[in-house]
Amino acid sequence: MSRFSLNLLGVFLFCLFFTVEAYAAADCNFQTVTDVNFGSYDVLSGLNNDSTGSLTVSCSGQTWTTVTTSIGASPNSGGFNPRQMLQASGTDLLNYNLYTNSTRTTIWGDGTQGTSTVTTSIHKNHPWNGTIYGRIPPGLNVGIGTYSEALVVTINF
């Protein structure tokens, strides 16, 4: 083997074992959030008052990103079960809750106090659309008025 061939082989072996890796950090954010609007609540009805809201999360950077979505406790009740909306012109509280599933059996929270979070993998070219399932139980004795509550929704990735 000539001296030129050996030097070339040395360069080739160096390149073979020298690799560079780089990963782009994921960046995720809410594209849209739609409120859970229950409409009118009939205190005399024996039926649940169900409604839905939605959120859309998108990510960039990595091809796939695992995202966990949590919804905070009720500022009015201090917990998750029940959450409570406050009457705008009074002091009445209206019990309700938010769920991860359409059967409304799993409370969407932060993973504490018997609640669950939602974890999904999001592709950088395909946002995730999540549904928030809400329910006000029947038989609550509350005054006439508008009720509302603001909650913190968090995404961890």
- Binning pLDDT at 50, 70 and 90, where does residue 62 land? confident
87-146, pLDDT tens digit by residue? 999 999 999 999 999 999 999 999 999 999 999 999 999 999 999 999 999 999 999 999
**Nearest CA among 71, 147, 154, 50 for reference residue 115:** 71
Q: What CATH number is given for 26-156 in this structure?
A: 2.60.40.1090
Domain locations in the chain as residue ranges: 26-156
Give this prediction's pTM.
0.83
What is the chain written as a DSSP string?
Answer: --HHHHHHHHHHHHHHH------PPPEEEEEEEE--------TT--S-EEEEEEEEEEEESSSEEEEEEEEPPPTTTSSSSSEEEEETTSS-EEEEEEESSTT--SBBSSS-TT-B-EEEEEETTB-EEEEEEEEE-S-----SS-EE----EEEE-
